[in-house]
Amino acid sequence: MLRVHNLYTLLWSGWLHFPSSVRTLAYKVLRWIALKLRTRESVNVIRLPFNLYAKYGRTVLRTEAFAMQYVAQHTTIPVPTILDLVEDNGGVFILMSRLPGQPLGITRDLNTMPSPQVLLFEIAMRDWLDQLRSLSPPNPDVVSGFDGGPCMSDRIKQEEFVGPFPSQREFHQYLYHTVGKRHHNALRVIAAQSHGVPHRICFESDIHPNNILVSRDGHLTGLIDWECAGWYPKYWEYTKTIYLRAGYAEWSAVFQRIFPQYENELMVEKAFWGVHNPW
């Protein structure tokens, strides 16, 4: 098995020395075959032959691949292995390995899962989040995307980049841009309980039921979709995880147990959610 792995590594290393134009053409052929087989999973993501995945398009960023590599190097969280990264006039093409398991949001419902499996989920998520939050930001004040540039969060703007913000104050101030001015005064009174408190900047992913892979026996097998990865105030991962999950009682309960210290921050965010428009 070791010889086969070494041979594969040697062949792939040789392939990566081919011109990017040749590699891109080969990947597009695989993508065309996959489209014929109807294996598209989202606008930009498609399952390829040979146990591979591709993410390709004008809205795909190289930084997503860099974020996955960073997480793979600094944590034990299972993420796709980046096999190649090329770019043409159609956008960025990320070629990556396929992880085992299926999305939690498609195959499981925490509301109906047996308590022991919910506990396993909670323990694994707590470990993953602790690892992410232990990573040191490139700048302890800036709220930004993974590379220090603009960040993306559907809580703020749908499929639009914002920032970067030189401080949490500027970041929190920007949140008012997504709500009508008639709400500003009331929100500022409520927000003082959270926005006036300094929070450490932490690495955040995009914890979503469809981004968490699980095996048939309920064990977590991977975390995918890192386009929204960035550096945010420490509470943001928690409140973002609860965002638009009103019908997921057990999901919310799990993360409330993991993050019991951010109830004021959640209350403030819920006040914004009630009046904001991310479109």
> Which residues does 203 contact at the CB level (< 8 Å), separation at least 6?
132, 133, 135, 137, 146, 229, 230, 231
Domain match, 212 and 235 both: yes
Residues found in the chain:
279
Q: 174 and 114, same structural domain? A: yes
Q: Are residues 14 and 120 in the same domain?
A: no
Task: Kindly report the pTM of this predicted structure.
Answer: 0.90
73-112 confidence digits (pLDDT tens): 999 999 999 999 999 887 899 999 999 999 998 888 888 8
Nearest to 201 by CA among 99, 251, 154, 133: 133
Per-residue pLDDT band at 218 (split at 50, 70, 90)? confident
Are 79 and 217 contained in the same domain? Answer: no
Same domain for 63 and 127, yes or no, is no
CATH number at residue 145: 3.90.1200.10
Q: Is residue 19 part of a domain?
A: yes
Give me the residues paired with residue 213 across strands: 103, 222
Q: Which long-range contacts (CB under 8 A, 24 or more apart) does 74-77 make?
A: 74/131, 74/135, 75/128, 75/131, 75/132, 75/135, 76/131, 77/128, 77/131, 77/132, 77/223
- Residue 159 pLDDT class (50, 70, 90 cuts): confident
Number of domains, the chain: 2
Whether residue 53 sits in one domain with residue 117: no
High-pLDDT (> 90) share of the chain, %? 67
- Residue 232's closest CA among 258, 263, 269, 260? 269
Among residues 158, 161, 164, 159, which one has the least CA distance to residue 143? 164
In terms of domains, do 133 and 267 share one? Answer: yes
Spatial CA neighbour of 195 closest among 268, 276, 270, 263: 268
Range of the domain at 251: 102-274
Joined together, the tokens standing for residue 49 give 């032959």
Q: Are residues 113 and 189 in the same domain?
A: yes
Residue 113 lies in a domain: yes
Give the CATH number, domain containing residue 15: 3.30.200
Do 28 and 48 share a structural domain? yes
